[in-house]
Amino acid sequence: MTKLYFPDLAPCDFFLFPNLKTWLGGKKFSSNEEIIIAVNEYFADFETVYFK
């Protein structure tokens, strides 16, 4: 069996970013700063153990 290798994707891309995409879905932002604040709020809700 051949394993697929995607050098531009880290393991966190497979579980972290789809959830972030869902969480951001339907929200409207008027500036990049608003997006940065929203993403920081999203990640602030996680315990540091979640990222290990």
Give the model confidence (pLDDT) of 1-19 as tens digits. Answer: 566 666 666 666 667 788 8
Q: What are phi and psi of 33, to 5 degrees?
A: -60, -40
d(CA 51, CA 6): 21
Give me the chain's average pLDDT, please: 80
pLDDT band at 20 (very low <50, low <70, confident <90, very high): confident
Residue 49's identity, in one-letter code, is: V
pLDDT band at 28 (very low <50, low <70, confident <90, very high): very high
d(CA 44, CA 18): 17
Q: Could you tell me which of 51, 43, 8 has the C-alpha nearest to residue 23?
A: 43
